[in-house]
Amino acid sequence: MPGMLEFTQIRELVAGDLATVKAALLVATGAHPVFDEVNAHLGGGGKQMRALLLLLVARACGAENGAAVRLATIVERIHTASLLHDDVIDEAKERRNVEAANVVWGNKVAILAGDYLLTQSFCDLLQAGDKDAMRILASGVEQILAAATDELQHNGDFTLTREQYLDIVTGKTATLFAVAAELAAAISDVTVSESEALRLYGLNFGIAFQLADDLLDIAADIVEGKITLPILLALDSITDIELRQHITQTLNESVFSDELLTILNAGAITRTQLLAKEYVEIAQAHLDILPPSIYRDGLADLALLALTRKN
Ligand code: FPP
Ligand code: MG
């Protein structure tokens, strides 16, 4: 698309703020040496997509910079906490191009370190006396926990409906994107309807982001028993009962069969990509409430880039 910003160019718009966020994330607290070790291992890594989103919305709305950086740090730290727990649940081996914390320190320490990062985030909010932010984040974390639990309970469940899947994706991933946008709005001089539009930008971007993740992770998700949209659409498209039974059985055995690959390539992958694109377009449309700026352009392009990401 002509004139589209690249990911590095979008990051460049708030590069100084992102560097401050990263430095803040890596500050050792001394609460327990192992928490500092886990945090040093994982805390400064990743794409920092949620922090980037928050900082861009804040700039687009003319928010005070110090508050935006503080909230972006908190959102990223909560994200890391959720990943520490997620990797225990998923028995993941790697995270952010390094060994997962559960591999290095074991499940128990990984869970406690996640609890610590989550608590540290709320302590920071308490210290800043930021009740609005606390309310937005506490309710966001509740939704994330409920959705992660739902996902767990539907592991290996091929009767999962598309609506149930989208509810899980919305809760576990899109919530924190929505929260990031809403937090930036809360420290800006915007109306209630503008804040709601920004929240919906984040929410729809987040859904598209997770759909893209599910397209990247098909093989790994099959091993974990995770039923994601490409797999649901593939199963839905099989009319031959015997073939469906065969594929369900291979999935139950965590096997990615050639037959499933053929069916995925025959339409399920394309349909998932198209749906993700629709969510990106909904997200972008919500940005119309913002005055034109390079930050608004960055937000629009960032959502679209989620679709072509490779990690
Ligand atoms: C990644 O999904 C996981 C999440 C976005 C959230 C998981 C949330 C929890 C486990 C609840 C704990 C939450 C807090 C705040 C402590 P994925 O497994 O599909 O993606 P992946 O490929 O990155 O692992
Ligand atoms: Mg996972």
Chain segment 61-70, per-residue pLDDT in tens: 999 999 999 9
Side-chain half-sphere of 25: how many Cα atoms within 13 Å? Answer: 30
pLDDT value for 311: 77
Which protein residue has the closest C-alpha to ligand 1 atom 18? Answer: 86
| pLDDT, averaged across the chain | 95
Which protein residue has the closest C-alpha to ligand 1 atom 3? Answer: 86
Domain annotation covers residue 97: yes
pLDDT value for 2: 59
d(CA 232, CA 90): 19
Of 136-150, 176-190, 195-209, 234-248, least confident by mean pLDDT is 234-248
Strands 98-99 and 94-95: antiparallel
Closest ligand 1 atom to 117 CA: 16
CA of 25 to the centre of ligand 2 (A): 21
Question: Which of the ligands is closest to the CA of residue 116?
Answer: 1
Domain annotation covers residue 262: yes
Closest ligand 1 atom to 118 CA: 16
Q: pLDDT tens digits, residue range 150-174?
A: 999 999 898 999 999 999 999 999 9
Helix axes 192-216, 229-236, angle to 10 degrees: 70
Q: At 224, is the pLDDT very low, low, confident or very high (cuts 50, 70, 90)?
A: confident
Q: At 1, is the pLDDT very low, low, confident or very high (cuts 50, 70, 90)?
A: low
d(CA 135, CA 139): 6
Question: Which of the ligands is closest to the CA of residue 152?
Answer: 1
One-letter amino acid for residue 192 of the chain:
V
Q: Which residue has the tokens 């225990």?
A: 88
Domain annotation covers residue 1: no
Residue from 98, 144, 155 whose mutation best tests the ligand 1 pocket (most atoms within 8 A of CB)? 144
Instruction: List residues near ligand 1 (CB under 6 A).
Output: 78, 81-82, 85-86, 89-90, 92, 114, 118, 141, 144-145, 148, 172-173, 213, 217
As a whole number, mean pLDDT of residues 98-124 equals 97
d(CA 146, CA 168): 9
Which domain range does residue 278 map to? Answer: 7-308
Domain annotation covers residue 2: no
| Residue 244 in tokens | 């469906």
Domain annotation covers residue 294: yes
106-142 burial, b if ≥16 CB within 10 A, otherwise e? Answer: ebebbbbbbebbbebbeebbeeeebeebbebbeebbe
Please tell me the total count of domains within the chain.
1
As a whole number, mean pLDDT of residues 262-284 equals 95
Secondary structure class of 99 (helix, strand, coil) = strand
Say yes or no to pLDDT of 279 above 80. Answer: yes
Which protein residue has the closest C-alpha to ligand 1 atom 8? Answer: 82
Domain annotation covers residue 246: yes
Domain annotation covers residue 138: yes
The domain spanning residue 130 has which CATH number? 1.10.600.10
CA of 46 to the centre of ligand 2 (A): 14
Domain annotation covers residue 71: yes
Residue from 49, 74, 79, 82 whose mutation best tests the ligand 1 pocket (most atoms within 8 A of CB)? 82
Say yes or no to pLDDT of 125 above 80. Answer: yes
Cβ 160 vs Cβ 196: under 8 Å: no
